Structure 1
């Protein structure tokens, strides 16, 4: 299948997925920032130097270009290594430890908090970099895991603390499922990279909590919590399209958790908590029922109220990417044809509406009529979800992406 052809029935084959992944990586080749780390990219793939250098973008750049290095894509090793160096220097807090959320054009930290979300991505970056053999990766991963252990992992709850002040003196009262989700991803990768079983065991504890949470809330996962993990279902009702803490149930996170629970099950085997597959199915079905093709146009809405009514109807590229990955994971786990049909339909949607064949990458946001807009996300700063959507369908559920790519060439996507 050629990249310019419309996919009317069949899903993309392995050659198409490989070519799309390489096209995405090519878009990001100029991601390096003069200060170190990775820049926010505009719609053309040019660094937007008016924006800060973000830890989450830099970490994701290490991860995706580290995967590119493992796939022997020309130039990816140097890009990943340069971004990794930004984590070791520009974005690292040499005084108090850990990583700043971002630094501005003068190298001054933006904000005073230390977030679990950012640090989870540093762990993911370090894990991928270790598998890819990047210089300095072992030391960075060891430091990132120490910070995660000392400050963010909460042994009493089996979950994570969301945020601290810069000097690690006071945790914020907010708890968030988004940070827990990316901590699961990071700890799975760290367990694969280091062989330390603690990280996979902790992932099992978080996954067990999500199983119970899904059961208690009809598979519409609360995102925001008080310090004792009591859900705050009304948070940000007045600004529902917040890019990191939106109000209501987030369709893409339901899909992402659906996939992650299957990775946890595959990674832990007999030690996995009960109910992972059943919960994965429920989360998937709820997200699809509430979010896909529900408001008169193709695509996933971004968020819904607690009764499933759409709230933010923009179409985010990452939600489609996570739908593709979740459908592929459930098809691999169950062999059921309905997941393969949705997988094909969602790739068709991405090809018809989300892929930007003129300027590269994927449109990060579409309006409810599937026209490009930028009310929540400006530019194209993030290759992470899209690149993973080209890889996850071709790999086993365990080990994680970096280790699986290192062990063998990615195989066949769902037929």
Structure 2
């Protein structure tokens, strides 16, 4: 008997969309344990338990607040109280009431205080934006506070990019510029636009993309450098002694190219949807970044998965596959298929989900393994435990949504397909 064939892409199949919904709800249920009675959210261990003595983490708290805001927009029970729980911690426990801005950890803990990082402030703005769109009390004040800190301390108008970090009192600035913090700032700015309607955040998003995508990535064959001096000189040897750093690894990171890829299309949609002209290079660079990522990172050296980092000669540096790279790849493939209708992107979408289903989903202890090694065995070389709902949850939504500036904006407009 001949094999049955269909021209329908996997992401358009009703059964697949039901599967996405079920997987999303499974992830949401697992992460509810990260709520701390003392305020905020913490990372869970591999078994889904709160570690003894766990304290609130600002990035995790912001990501949980954001994710449960998305769930609340769909009417999923238990979500609104978790959003409010996160808002309370971001407005109080984790905020520096003296100098402004947000710590990475609660200041009354051994890890608390320290630098004020653009990466952290961006996630606070992302969470606050989603909560504003949801209509939660206190969200507008939190967003206004976050935007004031970003504008007064972190946004460099002359550069069209974000400064990286400061001392706790903002007296000393780190002599470093990073692609990662700017990438997540772009993501946050698109959500801020959806929450406020202020197009200045689209303008700033475009300026970030212009620098990092249309200039830096293009000049480097769409293998995007991550680390820069204040004058934007590429720091090619940065963290050569720490190649598996969780935020600033040595070399290039194919997973980040996938993330930049779909952000280009979201920015294009935000600009077009608001009556602005979207430059043609956004779609062009989206495809080129995707191609560069799978060229450099997918199924390298006889192994399967998407490697964490590649060095400047194209050699695999850290072969482990982080779960978030597949999450970003799924979103990028889905949006590129929606944008171009090219069958190759639908095939990549299926290929990525097949890998997630057979390798990353932990059906015994819940959620996804945070990373696996070159032999696809669970590993904690880069990341510990299972702290991250944010990355895994979003690709259960984006394939069921049209291309839009932000997920909360699209959900608020009732654009989710069952």
TM value normalised by structure 2: 0.94
Say which SS state the counterpart of residue 53 (structure 1) adopts.
coil
The structure 2 residue matched to 1:56, chosen from 50, 56, 59, is 59
The structure 2 residue matched to 1:362, chosen from 361, 368, 388, is 368
1:344-372 Cα offsets, whole Å, 9 max, x none, are: 01101100000011111100010101011
- Structure 1 residue 150: Cα displacement: 0.6
Specify the alignment match of 2:159 in structure 1.
157
Say which SS state the counterpart of residue 311 (structure 1) adopts.
strand
Asked whether the 8 Å contact 1:220–1:306 carries over to 2, the reply is: no
Change (3 A) 1:375 1:108: closer
The structure 2 residue matched to 1:403, chosen from 396, 401, 409, is 409
Tell me, which stretches of 5 or more residues in structure 1 are unaligned? 1-8
Asked whether the 8 Å contact 2:36–2:55 carries over to 1, the reply is: no
Superposition RMSD in Å: 1.5
Tell me, which stretches of 5 or more residues in structure 2 are unaligned? 1-8
Say which SS state the counterpart of residue 237 (structure 2) adopts.
coil
Asked whether the 8 Å contact 1:224–1:233 carries over to 2, the reply is: yes
Alignment of 1:240-251 (within 5 A): 240-251=243-254
- Structure 1 residue 296: Cα displacement: 1.4
Deviates more, 1:382-391 or 1:38-47: 38-47
The ranges of structure 1 where at least 4 consecutive aligned residues each deviate by more than 6 angstroms after the TM superposition are none
Q: Distance in 2 between matches of 1:212 and 1:273?
A: 14
Q: Distance in 2 between matches of 1:161 and 1:284?
A: 26
Say which SS state the counterpart of residue 13 (structure 1) adopts.
helix
Alignment of 1:9-20 (within 5 A): 10=10, 13-20=16-23
1:269-305 Cα offsets, whole Å, 9 max, x none, are: 2433441111111110010011111121221011001
Asked whether the 8 Å contact 2:124–2:146 carries over to 1, the reply is: yes
Q: Distance in 2 between matches of 1:322 and 1:239?
A: 24
Alignment of 1:205 onto 2:186: no
Q: Distance in 2 between matches of 1:109 and 1:161?
A: 23
Alignment of 1:2-401 (within 5 A): 10=10, 13-103=16-106, 106-107=108-109, 110-209=112-211, 210-269=213-272, 270-401=276-407
Say which SS state the counterpart of residue 230 (structure 1) adopts.
coil
Q: Distance in 2 between matches of 1:236 and 1:397?
A: 36
- Structure 1 residue 409: Cα displacement: 4.6
Q: Distance in 2 between matches of 1:395 and 1:78?
A: 25
Say which SS state the counterpart of residue 314 (structure 2) adopts.
coil
- Structure 1 residue 107: Cα displacement: 4.2
- Structure 1 residue 10: Cα displacement: 4.6
Q: Distance in 2 between matches of 1:232 and 1:92?
A: 32
Q: Distance in 1 between matches of 2:157 and 2:416?
A: 36
- Structure 1 residue 50: Cα displacement: 3.5
Say which SS state the counterpart of residue 166 (structure 2) adopts.
strand
Deviates more, 1:250-259 or 1:292-301: 292-301
1:18-55 Cα offsets, whole Å, 9 max, x none, are: 11100000001122113311111112222224444211
User: How many pairs were matched up?
Assistant: 403
- Structure 1 residue 108: Cα displacement: 6.0
- Structure 1 residue 228: Cα displacement: 1.1
TM value normalised by structure 1: 0.94
Q: Distance in 2 between matches of 1:49 and 1:342?
A: 40
Asked whether the 8 Å contact 1:250–1:304 carries over to 2, the reply is: yes
Q: Distance in 2 between matches of 1:307 and 1:265?
A: 32
Asked whether the 8 Å contact 2:130–2:195 carries over to 1, the reply is: yes
Say which SS state the counterpart of residue 186 (structure 1) adopts.
helix
Asked whether the 8 Å contact 2:402–2:415 carries over to 1, the reply is: no
